């Protein structure tokens, strides 16, 4: 079967729909999560001006001089603010040590929910770090980013409502573990500085192969080639969203939670070289990771009778901290179940 990312219209969950229409959506999502791990979602309800605003905000910030952007760096252990090109290596989050170590050329800006967003809840200030906003240099950045952040968060929570129905569990299985969720929006910019000779740097990777870490990711991206997803056929496939669609993909915590009934799919960004350079590409990944103190263990109905779950229980915070130590601090993670798959992947479409 040729590789494709299923399209699902979630209008019945966003704008109201009857039980039959919702059940149909839940079935389609279950199939996509089981077979691909990526979905294209229509009917998400994010107004176009909001995504246009996000894109404009990214242009304003990433268009600044490097010296100005560097002012907004944070320590590697704090997942906020600006990350210059080649400071992160996503494949180290996976336990894959490659020749292009720290060669991911994306630059990013991270914003997320902070301790001050949850007054009265005792949360770890490292996971829930306060944001760094570039107000002085990019005054038009914050408002549209906050507007998009709220919308993407709503879509992520809608997806978990669909997940509960698709898995046949009570909605509280998700809501009880996401009421002070670690949520981060990573805005990515893939561009090479003028004059970069791409022929001399054959190892260039936009973003190294990785799985996302949390529960679910809502991904907005320019319709420019670059994102590749590893299919169950062992090959990498180009994926670009249909007009108006958002990409949704599952993270590792959901694979653990569902005892791998659903997939946390490997992906990477390898922009094609055209005319000696790469086409600029932007994306924004909203990671909905769950409460740092929530325990994630296999939903009992996903574990076959008489078998042990594939993974031991883990808290969201422990899992995310280990992954970030790989991608942001350069400490290679212990190879896991996904590592073997990426090493075996064929380098083709």
- What is the contact surface with ligand AKG in residues (CB under 6 A)? 186, 188, 207, 212, 219, 221, 227, 267, 269, 283, 285
- Residue 11 or residue 240: which is nearer to ligand AKG going by CB? 240
- φ, ψ for residue 217 (rounded to 5)? -120, 135
Q: State the minimum distance, in angstroms, from the CB of residue 207 to Fe ion.
A: 7
CB nearer to ligand AKG: give 28 or 219: 219
- Minimum CB distance to Fe ion, residue 267 (Å): 6
- Give yes or no for a contact between 43 and 158, defined as CB atoms under 8 angstroms apart: no
Question: How is residue 322 written in tokens?
Answer: 């280990």
- Residue 281 has phi, psi (to 5 degrees) of -145, 140
Nearest approach, Cβ of residue 341 and Fe ion (Å): 15
- Chosen residue from 30, 209, 212, 289 binding Fe ion by CB under 5 A: 212
DSSP letter string, 229-280? EE-TTSBEEE--PPTT-EEEEE-HHHHHHTTTSS----EEE-PPEETTEE--
Binder of residue 299, out of ligand AKG, Fe ion, none (CB less than 5 to 8 A by kind): none
Using the contact rule CB under 5 A, the part of the chain among 189-197, 210-218, 294-302, 315-323 near Fe ion is 210-218
Residue nearest to Fe ion (CB): 212
C-alpha span between 182 and 112 (Å, rounded): 7
CA angle, residues 36, 172, 300, in degrees to nearest 5: 60
Is there a contact between 246 and 304 (Cβ–Cβ < 8 Å)?
A: no
Q: Exposure of 115 by Cβ count < 10 A (0-12 exposed, 13-18 middle, 19+ buried)?
A: middle
Name the residue nearer to ligand AKG (CB basis): 225 or 332: 225
**In this chain, which residue has its C-beta nearest to ligand AKG?**
283
289 binds Fe ion (CB under 5 A): no
Segment 171 to 200, residues that bind Fe ion, using CB under 5 A: none
Q: How far is the CB of 207 from ligand AKG (least distance, A)?
A: 6
Which residues of the shown chain bind Fe ion in the complex (CB under 5 A)?
Answer: 212
């Amino acid at each position: 079967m040729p590789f494709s990312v299923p399209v699902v219209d979630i209008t019945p969950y966003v704008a109201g729909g009857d039980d039959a229409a919702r059940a149909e959506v839940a079935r389609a999502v279950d199939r996509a999560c089981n077979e691909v791990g990526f979905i294209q979602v229509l009917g998400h309800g994010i107004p176009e001006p909001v995504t246009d605003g996000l894109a404009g905000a990214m242009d304003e910030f990433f268009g600044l001089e490097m010296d100005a952007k560097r002012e907004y760096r944070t320590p590697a252990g704090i997942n906020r603010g600006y990350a210059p090109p080649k400071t992160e290596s996503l494949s180290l989050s996976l336990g894959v040590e490659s020749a292009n170590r720290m060669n991911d050329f994306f630059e990013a800006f991270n914003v997320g929910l902070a301790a001050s967003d949850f007054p009265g809840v005792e949360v770890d200030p490292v996971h829930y770090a306060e944001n760094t906003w570039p107000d002085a240099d990019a005054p038009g950045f914050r408002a549209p980013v906050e507007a998009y952040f709220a919308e993407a968060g709503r879509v992520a929570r809608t997806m978990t409502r669909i997940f509960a129905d698709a898995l046949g569990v009570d909605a509280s299985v998700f809501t009880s573990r996401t009421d002070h969720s670690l949520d981060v929006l990573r805005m990515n910019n893939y561009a090479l500085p003028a004059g970069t000779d791409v022929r001399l740097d054959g190892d260039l990777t936009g973003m190294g192969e990785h799985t996302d870490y949390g529960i679910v990711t809502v991904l907005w991206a320019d319709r420019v080639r670059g994102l590749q997803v590893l299919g169950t056929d062992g090959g990498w496939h180009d994926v670009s969203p249909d007009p108006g669609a958002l990409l949704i993909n599952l993270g590792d915590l959901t694979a653990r939670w569902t005892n791998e009934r659903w997939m946390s799919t490997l992906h990477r960004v390898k922009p094609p070289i055209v005319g000696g350079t790469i086409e600029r590409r932007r994306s924004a990944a909203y990671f909905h990771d769950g409460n740092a103190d929530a325990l994630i263990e296999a939903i009992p109905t996903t574990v076959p009778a008489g078998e042990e779950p594939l993974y031991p229980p883990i808290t969201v915070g422990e899992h995310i901290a280990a992954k970030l130590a790989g991608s942001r601090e350069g400490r290679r993670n212990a190879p896991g179940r996904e590592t073997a798959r990426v090493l075996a992947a064929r380098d083709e479409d």
